[in-house]
Amino acid sequence: MAWWGTLVGGALGYMFGGPLGALLGASLGSNFDRGLKKNLNFAPGDQERVQAAFFTASFSVMGYIAKADGRVTPDEIATAKNIMAQMQLSEQQRKAAIKLFEQGKQADFPFQEILQQFRQECHGRRNLIQMFIEIQLATAIADGEIHRSERNIIDQIADALGFSQRELEHLISLATGAAHAGQPKGLSLDEAYAILDVKKSSSDAEVKKAYRRLMSQHHPDKLVSKGLPEEMIKLATEKTQEIRKAYDLIKNSRK
């Protein structure tokens, strides 16, 4: 939580501008405003600054997606609250996250500008950007399906953040598999292959290689070192568990 302590103390206020800074400032109020008077230099790419950008972009864009089909459903609200619960946010963090979610629902939400600044702040850290997209997909699929308006936004996110359609389809497979993994019927074999992004005809060595690559991409410590807020470690850990379930299912089916 070191990044949050720095943030609410006002230290990031001086250098964290743009649309993300405006959103974050509105969610924090006077604490952030006081930071504007401090002559502190946090260069782009500093871990604490990236963590603040990730937190701000994640919850505000979640609100934007939730409102995409014209109304925010109880499932979408529950998903946002569930992510907040998984992060074990403090009361102050939770209030800021809710305010960011609400700002994302507003008609004048600067969606494209937020994505552009977020990509700049991440400085090409694809694993971190991928985690951001996965969080947004979890919001979109919260009510059981990705509506056309939501898919349009997801496509825009992927394009703005430098992910191809093929890469996006794989992330959708991950999100769908995660949604099904907790259901009574569990994960299907087809979904398991889609999660690992391999074919049924792939060799055991190819399946293992894909599994190890995905586990490396979602390794919590690696993501935190790249700028994932510490509070989101549990989300990354759950991703690795879903990938492991898919791998185990494929392995057992081949015995």
Q: What is the pLDDT of residues 69-109, one digit of tens each?
A: 777 878 888 878 888 887 778 888 889 999 999 999 999 99
Contact 187, 181 (CB under 8 A): yes
CATH number at 2-180? 1.10.3680
pTM beyond 0.75, yes or no = yes
Most confident segment among 40-54, 173-187, 219-233: 219-233
Q: What string of DSSP letters covers 194-206?
A: HHHT--TTS-HHH
Q: Collect all residues with Cβ–Cβ distance below 8 Å to 13 and sequence separation of at least 6.
A: 21, 25, 32, 33, 34, 35, 36, 38
CA distances from 53 to 19, 82, 123, 183, 228 (A): 10, 20, 12, 33, 10
**What does the alpha-carbon distance between residue 144 and residue 129 come to, in Å, rounded to a whole number?**
24
Domain ranges for the chain, please list them.
2-180
Predicted confidence (pLDDT) per residue in 212-253, tens digit: 998 888 887 877 777 777 777 777 788 888 889 889 999 999
What's the confidence (pLDDT) of residue 41? Answer: 43
The DSSP call for residue 231 is G
Residue 182 has pLDDT above 60, yes or no: no
